[in-house]
Amino acid sequence: MRHYTVTAGEKGMRLDQFLALDKPEFTRSFIQKFIKGGSVFVNHKKTTKAAMRLNEGDELVVIIPSIRETGIEAENIPLDVVYEDKDLIVVNKAPGMPVHPTDHGAHVSGTLVNALLYHCKDSLSGIGGEMRPGIVHRIDKFTSGLIIAAKNDHAHRMVAGQIMAHHVTKKYIALLNGHLTPKIGSIEAPILKTHGDKMVQVSNSDKAKYALTHYEVQKYIGDFTLVEVRIVTGRTHQIRVHFASIGHPVAGDDRYGDPKTNERLKEKTGLSRQFLHAAYLKFKLPSTGKEIELRAPLVKDLASTLKRLTN
């Protein structure tokens, strides 16, 4: 539960805007759903109006549901734990595992959240909401690699703040179609969500969000390029869309890639998902401020793909 008092400088703000400023790790759409769900009280009265204008002195109470109220079941799913302390757990997520259940009922089991609830019991932050307890950031279902989950709200806010300030270093390993040049470069192109957020695209629309991706070629393998990628921003499908926009989509990507190339790659190597792996994280631990570096080697299917391409 959180308590707020509206100041003179905050007078006239929309309720969802007020909460978004306090919790930058939340999207505006998530906050609006949270308000409509009846979890916010203004002057001791429940409100479901996200556009409600606030007055100086208004008292706000925000109720964050506990883990055990969510209805998501803990499942004994094996986890590859790379780091863990009283505040955080960092997992090398397996490909094909969704990070969390969705609002529309898909992936109600077998997700990273289900596994974390079993592993961490009730020790997960509630900031992510009832569908995403503990989840500070996400990676795609078919992307493997490192992901951070928080065990308490303080740790969640600290890590989310580092991400918002671009103080967390995230590096990926990707295999791209074709030979990418120059060998070191950046892609700076705004990204817009389309088709109900299921797809994104590079766009000059005013609604598009700034996105920046740095890369360095590791080597050329046949008709492909192995690259190390560092993302400055963390937009949905950012790496996949950025490289597709310059004619070098991620190998195996069935959404933004080339179907014919993907099929040939699958026949040769057996790869059935995008070749994208979250390989490196650097950030500061919430309690001590100590900087930590974590690495996750390529998982079996990606390592096997490289081996078969070089034979």
Q: What is the DSSP string of 251-298?
A: TT-TTTS-HHHHHHHHHHH---S--EEEEEEEEE-TTT--EEEEE-PP
pTM: 0.75
Q: In whole angstroms, what is the distance from residue 142 CA to residue 61 CA?
A: 38
Query: In terms of Cα–Cα distance, which of 223, 221, 218, 194 is closest to 207?
Result: 194
Element (H, E) at 240: helix 238-245
Question: Is residue 215 within 8 Å of 187, Cβ to Cβ?
Answer: yes
Establish whether 103 is a catalytic residue. no
State which residues of the chain have pLDDT below 50. Answer: 25, 66-70, 103-106
Starting at the edge strand found earlier in the chain, the sheet holding 40-42 runs 2-5, 59-62, 40-42, 45-46
Q: Tell me: the pLDDT tens digits for 134-152?
A: 788 889 899 999 999 999 8
The active-site residue out of 16, 58, 87, 140 is 140
Query: pLDDT of 12-41, one tens digit each?
Result: 999 988 887 766 545 667 678 778 878 899
Q: Is 179 exposed, middle or buried (0-12, 13-18, 19+ CB in 10 A)?
A: middle
Spatial CB neighbours of 117, under 8 Å, sequence gap ≥ 6: 67, 72, 73, 74, 75, 124, 133
Q: What letter represents residue 307's amino acid? A: K
Between CA 276 and CA 186 the distance in angstroms is 18
| Of 275, 29, 287, 308, residue with least CA distance to 145 | 275
The Cβ of residue 56 has, within 10 Å, a number of other Cβ atoms equal to: 12
Contact 21, 60 (CB under 8 A): no
Burial class (CB in 10 A: 0-12, 13-18, 19+), 170: buried
Q: Which residues contact 257 (CB under 8 A, 6 or more apart)?
A: 177, 240, 244, 249, 250, 251, 274
CA geometry: angle at 148 spanning 142 and 152, to 5°?
Answer: 135
Angle between the 28-36 and 15-22 helix axes, to the nearest 10 degrees?
120
How far apart are alpha carbons 44 and 186 in whole angstroms? 51
Domains of the chain: 2-62 (3.10.290.10), 67-164 (3.30.2350.10), 169-310 (3.30.2350.10)
SS3 annotation, 110-177: CCHHHHHHHHHCCCCCCCCCCCCCCECCCCCCCCEEEEEEECCHHHHHHHHHHHHCCCCEEEEEEEEE
Q: What is the pLDDT of residues 267-295, one digit of tens each?
A: 999 999 999 999 999 999 998 999 999 99
pLDDT at residue 117, rounded to an integer: 87
Cβ–Cβ < 8 Å for 240, 256: yes
Residue 257 near residue 266 (C-beta atoms within 8 A)? no
